[in-house]
Structure 1
Amino acid sequence: MNLKAELSASSLSVRAEPVQQRSAERITSLLDAAAELIDSHGIDGLTTSDVATRSGSSVGVVYRYFPNIQSLLKALAARNLDKFTTRLQETLPEDTSDSFGAMNAAIDAYLELARSEAGFRALRFGDVIDDRFISDEPARSTGLAAMFKDILVTRYGINSTPELEFDIEVLVEVGDALLHRAFRYDQQGDERFITRLRELTQEFIDAHDAA
């Protein structure tokens, strides 16, 4: 199962797919500019003209790839998700009995992005977009929960049950809220909320490891 492709495919909304290195570099430049502006002014303050100015492009170039701000934000969220899944796959424990280590690796991958990736703390994986625009797409948290379930079942031998599916979606929702709160006032993340999430994750693993 290609987790990165499966999670990212529905999130990335780019009007013109880059077929040349030059186009790919331009899209990267536009996304980098948008991420920096989100850090400075927030999501609601993002405009295509500001993205164009920050990236050294024209508004027409922005619209060539992104028909509106929503599609640009979705593309940036998809890039965040791709970086997260790449980092997670690189750091998953080789010990197939270390299911808690796998979930800890997911927390650590999130923390790394929140501390170093421009725009990530505000946008994360894009669920915040759905709060501003009408969307029929499944929540990103649902996709993440499915990914974590697949990892735990296929790689770490956790029994696949309806309870696991529900509990992991609850954990993802709670985890997102705790991590968002951890970084609201502290750019490095308030360790109290991070520690509590690790404790809740351990409780979740203990419950399903014993099942």
Structure 2
Amino acid sequence: MLGLANLHPIGQSGTVQAPTDPSGPLRRRPVQQRSRERFDRILDACARLLDEVGHTALTTKEVARRAEVPIGTLYQFFPGVDGLLGALAERNLGRFADRLTRRVEAERPQCIGAMVDLAIEEYVAMRRAVPGFGVVDFGAIGREDPRSIHLLDAALENNAAVADRLWFLVGGLLGDGDQAATRVRLHVALESADAVLRLAFRRDPEGDPVLIAECKRLLRGYLDG
């Protein structure tokens, strides 16, 4: 059984306190409530614009205009478009981890197969409902340049960074063997899920249910092996 010790630490607000790369995409992080509200408003505007124009046509000027903040305010937090995308990916990952943590606490999965189902269901739900998530989930979908594959962490590729975050949730269900080898398996599983779920949403804007089911089956078989 997955115990609470395997979960991300939970802050006083009840949200997952995900580790943050200090060399990440931000110039500075908001501290005061007013700054946090502006910061979130900028990211919300960025997410909506991504649905409209994609990441290649995104500009800081238009994001600031949509967020109704001076361009100088945007640049207080973000060095440019890549910084916006990185911060949005980081926020998406934090929210995904929060959602998955709540599911785990409520349903107490007893095996990795059940955990796979929960994780894929939460990802699919976010892909269907969260603005911009189909363009930037935990990375910039369709971009493979060096900056884009390191949006979450300067040292790790995006899926490797996601695997590190999720280890705190799933590690206890993957056995007590070689931890390094098990982490590699988790990373490979995430790369596989990434590819299959992208295909599912290319075939159907709501996600092809047959491919989503196949993604679950693929990961269950691989991680149970």
TM class by shorter chain equals: 0.7 to 0.9
Separation of aligned partners in 2, 1:98 and 1:11? 35
Name the stretch that deviates more: 18-27 or 182-191: 182-191
Give percent identity, aligned residues only.
30
Q: Does 1:23 align with 2:41?
A: no
Q: How does 1:56-135 map onto structure 2 within 5 Å?
A: 56-92=68-104, 94-95=107-108, 97-126=110-139, 128=141, 131-134=144-147, 135=150
For 1:91-138, what per-residue CA distance to the aligned partner results, in whole angstroms no more than 9, with x for missing partners? 016545232111211111111110111111111102649724445420
Name the stretch that deviates more: 109-118 or 163-172: 163-172
Which has a greater percent of helix? 1
CA RMSD of aligned residues (A): 2.4
For 1:143-164, what per-residue CA distance to the aligned partner results, in whole angstroms no more than 9, with x for missing partners? 222344443332x362333553
Shift, 1:54, TM fit? 0.9
Task: Provide the residue aligned with 1:198 in structure 2.
Answer: 216
Give the length in aligned residue pairs.
Answer: 206
Shift, 1:201, TM fit? 1.7
Separation of aligned partners in 2, 1:158 and 1:48? 46
Structure 1 unpaired stretches of 5+: none
Instruction: Say whether the 8 Å CA contact 2:109–2:115 is kept in structure 1.
Output: no
Name the stretch that deviates more: 136-145 or 107-116: 136-145
Instruction: Say whether the 8 Å CA contact 1:77–1:126 is kept in structure 2.
Output: yes
Shift, 1:27, TM fit? 0.6
For 1:24-61, what per-residue CA distance to the aligned partner results, in whole angstroms no more than 9, with x for missing partners? 00011100000000000001110011101111122222
Separation of aligned partners in 2, 1:22 and 1:72? 19
Separation of aligned partners in 1, 2:202 and 2:24? 26
Q: Which has the higher contact order (CA 8 A, sep 6+)?
A: 2
Normalising by structure 1, report the TM-score.
0.85
Instruction: Say whether the 8 Å CA contact 2:47–2:132 is kept in structure 1.
Output: yes
Look up the equivalent residue of 1:89 and give its one-letter code.
T
Separation of aligned partners in 2, 1:165 and 1:74? 23
Q: Does 1:167 align with 2:185?
A: yes
